[in-house]
Amino acid sequence: MGSFTRLTYHIVFATKYRTRSIKNHVQEQLYEYIGGTLRGKKGHLIEIGRVEDHVHILAGLSPALAVSDVVRDEKANASKWITEEGVLDAFEWQNGYGAFTVSFDRVETICRYIRNQEAHHKTKTFQEEYIDFLERHGIEFRLEHLFEDEQNG
């Protein structure tokens, strides 16, 4: 028997201090770059978010790679690209990320959720959304260690 996998992840990470630096003119290029980086790692981008202070990525990943390695490389490569291409003057991602497995029958629901980010964040902050994700997935955390800010980097 062969080995078959379909490993789909909803990955979320924020800009440093949740600075609203991923403006509309940057989003398209950044998202294309992230998709290309995923393809280079034998993954594929299914959907990507549309907000200024964080990114939602729905992606299929290779079983040969650890999610932590993929996210680390995505963030590092995107930061380097943004800086080298002069897309933004200064740019950093916040430390850490959230990665949640997605069942195949929930992919379209998650895609709609990601496409609706702009409207969603008119009523809920990133911090509220992220805490909801962690609680929904039964992940224990300490609020005082969850988000970086300029005083508690």
Cα(101)–Cα(4) distance, integer angstroms:
17
**Residue 22 neighbours by CB under 8 Å, 6+ apart:** 15, 30, 51, 52, 53, 55
Q: How many CA atoms lie within 13 A of 48 on its CB side?
A: 19
Cα–Cα distance measured from residue 8 to residue 16, given in angstroms and rounded to the nearest whole number = 26
| pLDDT one digit per residue (tens) for the chain, 153 residues | 888 889 999 999 999 999 888 888 888 889 999 999 999 999 999 999 878 999 999 999 999 999 999 999 999 999 998 888 877 777 899 999 999 999 999 999 999 999 999 898 999 999 999 999 999 999 999 988 888 775 555
7-139 CATH: 3.30.70.1290
Contacts of 152 (CB under 8 A, 6+ apart): none
Q: What is the rounded CA–CA span in Å between residue 100 and residue 31? A: 20
According to DSSP, the residues that pair with 99 across neighbouring strands are 11
**What pLDDT, on a 0 to 100 scale, did the predictor assign at position 143?**
87
Residue 8's pLDDT is 98
For 13, list phi and psi in degrees, rounded to 5.
Answer: -150, 155
Per-domain boundaries in the chain: 7-139
Structure tokens at 113: 């959720």
For 113, left (φ over 0), alpha (ψ -120 to 50), or beta? alpha
What pLDDT shows up at residue 150?
58
Contact 102, 58 (CB under 8 A): yes
What pLDDT sits at residue 113?
95
What is the distance between the alpha carbons of residues 74 and 76, in angstroms, rounded to a whole number?
6
Model pLDDT, residue 47: 97
